[in-house]
Chain A
């Protein structure tokens, strides 16, 4: 047992922290969940992705032949941890984590040429076209149809909860190409140009007041056949088996740690009832409890990364790290709001808002954390059924 990072990994951490310190001005730091970027931050994120790409860090986990560094899982942990802690706004996670690796495995040469280097440079952005109004946790029941017609497919249907579809160049679409087959066996993946006639994007305003998630409507959108990636009707299986990248959720845990550190600064600077809040025994207990749980979350994530680095495929272990980290991100904001008291209602940007209104934003933005990309309920089912071998019925 040795729970340290290697000297090389620590040297990389130092280099990265210095780089972020020099290149990310405080006003460009995102909210804790990166869901509420201002137009200026959004612009900055695009430019910053290209800077990361120039360093070779944007897609460091990719093989070298596609512009990556074949970085180890633990090095990716370091990267994701520091990026999460510094709340660096980002635009390209879909392309580098999902689309790129899938195209490497299943795409043809022409597709590799067209997409991979553009993604690696931070020059093109994908949105995800998976969820539908009636297909959330039960994704394989999706109904958006792609019907062959000459040299094209005609796509009809509706996608929803697609992150930043209103800014994306392409949609990574999962559509039904065989309505007669069992539900997992009739799905196909397409890389669809968002400028295709018949595609309409409508941003969804969330409780936070931001427009991160979108609806995408496909109304007889004609998609050329060369947009099909991999094998027809194998889309479900292709989506399940992409290249291994660090997916423990450590970035979110680091962001929670940052929120805690911001709260620590606040309670030391703030007097209430004649004493600093940091001397209030209840506040001390609450913050220590958060610190403890953040450490638990961190180690649950490290376990997942360690399994991946040994070539093992994490199963319930990732669900455990995720559900713990997701729920903790909400708890940090809940506890933070209680500590802020009456001033906690002041919004981001309002003069005098404690912690710059970030805890207030986080209180609202983290609501989605236990829902998007696998609800807590689904994660617990996986822990119980795969991890503890409890029967499905």
Chain B
């Protein structure tokens, strides 16, 4: 048993921490919130460092790093609240690596690895559920290709992404008949409308009116998209957990620093047990989240079975991050609920991350199934 990161991983974390501390101050996070929700400059710099290409093999312009390495980097992104479509693009890269044709990989992965092509998953239909049965957006054969009709909601970075990975239904029900397509944002028939969200993170509704695509847009086999999508959801839940543990740790550290400094009744408020115990609870939430997340990330890296551990990681971390933020507000007193103070930047993103790729309830339901309680009739 070994909980240690290796030297390269420690170095990656350190480099990312230093880079993001310098390049992604909260001033940038705040500026970006007023605009597109995304910093192109920061994205290009990160791509320049080779980070966007981490999952991609060397021949196609990447560095073929392990999934755990990705999670470590994303942890730092979560700590810095970096407004970049990193998780979205990485998930699409992985989906292409898993299920893309040689032609698709060659055409798309080098541009993605260099940061020039941003791709984002467009998964959610009207019910906003991450269960396979919720995919309704239809795709029908037409000529040599397909015509897609429907709407995808709350698409991350929907307005700035160059392409979408769209989950559609070509027939069947539940896990059967799901088909994935890669569709350009500027394709005829697509209209994008940004929606204001709690984290100001550039989510959009994407309307597709008779979007005609060729066979080269199909990712994997028709009707057999669920295994690819399931893998994307596992990685999405784990990367989002990694983002959350970075944010939660930053909030804990900020809180501890504040209560050491803030004096009332001639003593630091952090010397009161009521405050200390709150901080101890936050530390437990953070450490627990880190280990369950690393466990899931490590299993994914090693291609070991991980459904149970991924569900546990996202179920725990989703609750833990929001709880840490809310405890931090209480420990900060009034200053913590102002817009001027940075804590609110974390609290709003904690809630968004909690909901992304399945919230605690969703993953608990998955876990109940894995625990042998049978598949719920409510699904």
Q: Are A285 and B276 in contact (CB under 8 A)?
A: no
| B312 close to chain A: CB less than 8 A | yes
Q: Are B364 and A289 in contact (CB under 8 A)?
A: yes
Q: Are A393 and B267 in contact (CB under 8 A)?
A: yes
- CB-CB under 8 A from A389, the residues of chain B are 256, 260
- CB-CB under 8 A from B315, the residues of chain A are 288-289, 292
Q: Which stretch in A1-9, A145-153, A157-165 binds the other chain?
A: A1-9
Q: Which stretch in B73-81, B196-204, B226-234, B279-287 binds the other chain?
A: B279-287
Q: Are B373 and A306 in contact (CB under 8 A)?
A: no
Q: Are B367 and A296 in contact (CB under 8 A)?
A: no
| B341 close to chain A: CB less than 8 A | no
| B277 close to chain A: CB less than 8 A | yes
Q: Are B280 and A2 in contact (CB under 8 A)?
A: no
Q: Are B271 and A392 in contact (CB under 8 A)?
A: yes
| B334 close to chain A: CB less than 8 A | no
**Nearest CB in chain B to that of A387: its residue:** B283
Nearest CB in chain A: distance from B268 CB, A: 5
Q: Are A3 and B1 in contact (CB under 8 A)?
A: yes
- CB-CB under 8 A from B295, the residues of chain A are 3, 299
- CB-CB under 8 A from B292, the residues of chain A are 292, 295-296, 299
Max chain B Cβ within 10 angstroms of own Cβ: one of A6, A390, A391: A390
| A160–B295 alpha-carbon span in the complex (Å) | 42
| A27–B364 alpha-carbon span in the complex (Å) | 33
Q: Are B260 and A390 in contact (CB under 8 A)?
A: yes
| B33 close to chain A: CB less than 8 A | no
Q: Which stretch in A101-109, A180-188, A362-370, A376-384 binds the other chain?
A: A376-384
Tell me if B's interface is mostly helix, strand, loop or mixed.
helix
Q: Which stretch in A63-71, A131-139, A196-204, A276-284 binds the other chain?
A: A276-284
Q: Decide: A285 near B364, CB < 8 A? Known: A292-B312, A299-B295.
A: yes
| B143 close to chain A: CB less than 8 A | no
| A306–B3 alpha-carbon span in the complex (Å) | 7
Q: Are A284 and B376 in contact (CB under 8 A)?
A: yes
Q: Are A267 and B376 in contact (CB under 8 A)?
A: no
Q: Are B287 and A320 in contact (CB under 8 A)?
A: yes
- CB-CB under 8 A from A4, the residues of chain B are 1
Q: Decide: A279 near B377, CB < 8 A? Known: A2-B298, A296-B292, A388-B283.
A: yes
- CB-CB under 8 A from B268, the residues of chain A are 390-391
| B335 close to chain A: CB less than 8 A | no
| B288 close to chain A: CB less than 8 A | yes
| A204–B367 alpha-carbon span in the complex (Å) | 42
| B173 close to chain A: CB less than 8 A | no
Select B367's contact among A291, A323, A385, beta carbons within 8 Å. A291
Q: Are B279 and A2 in contact (CB under 8 A)?
A: no
| A291–B292 alpha-carbon span in the complex (Å) | 12
Select B3's contact among A292, A303, A316, beta carbons within 8 Å. A303
| A360–B294 alpha-carbon span in the complex (Å) | 36
| B378 close to chain A: CB less than 8 A | yes
Q: Decide: A320 near B284, CB < 8 A? Known: A291-B312, A390-B256.
A: yes
**Nearest CB in chain A to that of B252: its residue:** A388
| B316 close to chain A: CB less than 8 A | yes
Q: Decide: A284 near B373, CB < 8 A? Known: A4-B1, A383-B283.
A: yes
**Nearest CB in chain B to that of A307: its residue:** B3
| B361 close to chain A: CB less than 8 A | yes
| A244 close to chain B: CB less than 8 A | no
- CB-CB under 8 A from B283, the residues of chain A are 316, 320, 383-384, 387-388
Indicate with 1 or 0, residue by residue over A298-320, a CB within 8 angstroms of chain B CB atoms: 01101101100100000010001
| A288–B366 alpha-carbon span in the complex (Å) | 9
Q: Are B291 and A324 in contact (CB under 8 A)?
A: no
Indicate with 1 or 0, residue by residue over A223-237, a CB within 8 angstroms of chain B CB atoms: 000000000000000
| A387–B282 alpha-carbon span in the complex (Å) | 12
**Nearest CB in chain B to that of A281: its residue:** B378
Max chain A Cβ within 10 angstroms of own Cβ: one of B277, B311, B373: B373
Max chain B Cβ within 10 angstroms of own Cβ: one of A6, A267, A287: A287
| A140–B215 alpha-carbon span in the complex (Å) | 78
| A365–B281 alpha-carbon span in the complex (Å) | 24
Q: Are B270 and A268 in contact (CB under 8 A)?
A: no
Select B284's contact among A289, A323, A385, beta carbons within 8 Å. A323
| B371 close to chain A: CB less than 8 A | yes
- CB-CB under 8 A from A193, the residues of chain B are none
Q: Are A391 and B260 in contact (CB under 8 A)?
A: yes
Q: Are A296 and B3 in contact (CB under 8 A)?
A: no
Max chain A Cβ within 10 angstroms of own Cβ: one of B6, B291, B365, B376: B291
| A381–B283 alpha-carbon span in the complex (Å) | 12
Indicate with 1 or 0, residue by residue over A212-226, a CB within 8 angstroms of chain B CB atoms: 000000000000000
Q: Are B371 and A2 in contact (CB under 8 A)?
A: no
Q: Are B368 and A306 in contact (CB under 8 A)?
A: no
Indicate with 1 or 0, residue by residue over A323-349, a CB within 8 angstroms of chain B CB atoms: 110000000000000000000000000
Nearest CB in chain B: distance from A218 CB, A: 34
Q: Are A267 and B373 in contact (CB under 8 A)?
A: yes
| A300–B291 alpha-carbon span in the complex (Å) | 8
Q: B residues 239-259 with Cβ under 8 Å of A?
A: 256, 259
| B103 close to chain A: CB less than 8 A | no
| A41 close to chain B: CB less than 8 A | no
| A-B CB proximity, top 8 nearest | A384-B276, A288-B364, A299-B291, A284-B368, A383-B280, A296-B288, A380-B280, A288-B367
Known: A3-B295, A284-B364, A391-B268. 4 other contacts (CB 8 A): A279-B373, A281-B376, A288-B371, A291-B367
Chosen A-B contacts, 8 in total, with CB atoms closer than 8 Å, are A6-B1, A278-B374, A288-B367, A291-B367, A292-B364, A295-B316, A377-B273, A391-B268
Q: Give the interface of B toward A (CB within 8 A).
A: 1-6, 68, 256, 259-260, 267-268, 270-271, 273, 275-277, 279-281, 283-284, 287-288, 291-292, 294-295, 298-299, 309, 311-312, 315-316, 361, 363-365, 367-368, 371-374, 376-378
